[in-house]
Amino acid sequence: MAGSAPAGASLRELAAAARDCTACELYKTGTQTVFGSGARRASIMLVGEQPGDAEDRSGEPFVGPAGKLLDRALHDAGLDRANLYLTNAVKHFRWEPAERGKRRIHRKPATAHVHACHPWLVGELDAVRPRVLVALGATAAQALFGKAFRVTRDRGRPVPSPWAPYALATVHPSALLRAPDEESRHSEIARFIEDLKKAAELLRS
């Protein structure tokens, strides 16, 4: 299958169909398709960039270091991951081998990869129908809100979206792990939690 998401399909049907997707070359190097997971009718849906190494091996989104940080931030923002739906704009891990050893280094997905996976993301949005949509990072934000969107300029601010009554973008939790020092990391995590709290507030509005 080259990336044809069945119209009106359930999340289970979409995930089954996506397992055989060959719409871009990433299926050749990814261990497996990593589809979204979470509550089928979640009020809040979070969209990241792509699965990482841990996600590629497990088949579940947000289970690696960035996912663990996200879990802590969600808790501090008063949100329960069990009630959310988490997915990525790209469903396969794009990577390159490290110069030494067997470690796989993350590579940012290309626009073509985002486009190839877009039918699956739209299928998830149609199936979940979230009340609040949160983009994590630039790749997800531009996939959802257009190429002109800039997280540095518009993060934490509600923006119009055809996919949900409320939508906003913030940084990807992996960016917090790359903070240059402990003080910066604590500051950026606090700001990230505030963005997630805004999503929770929108849910109550």
Average pLDDT per consecutive 10 residues, the chain (205 residues; last block may be shorter): 73 95 96 97 98 97 97 98 98 91 90 97 97 98 96 96 97 96 97 98 91
Domain that holds residue 131: 11-204
Residue 47, in any domain of the structure: yes
- What pLDDT is stored for residue 103 in this prediction? 86
- What pLDDT is stored for residue 118 in this prediction? 96
| Site of tokens 């089954």 | 16
Question: How many domains, the chain?
Answer: 1
Residue 1, in any domain of the structure: no
Q: Which two tokens stand for residue 2?
A: 């080259």
Q: What is the CA angle 191-52-118, rounded to 5?
A: 85
Instruction: Using alpha carbons, select from 30, 25, 172 the residue that is nearest to residue 95.
Output: 30
Enter the pTM of the model: 0.95
Q: Which residues contact 192 (CB under 8 A, 6 or more apart)?
A: 73, 170, 171, 173, 176
Instruction: Classify burial at 122, counting beta carbons within 10 Å of its beta carbon; exposed 0-12, middle 13-18, buried 19 or more.
Output: middle
Q: What is 21-67 written as a DSSP string?
A: --SSGGGGTSSS----EE-TT-SEEEEES---HHHHHHS-SS-SHHH
CATH of the domain at 189: 3.40.470.10
Residue 3, in any domain of the structure: no
Q: How far is 173 from 102, CA to CA, in rounded Å? A: 24
- What pLDDT is stored for residue 102 in this prediction? 79
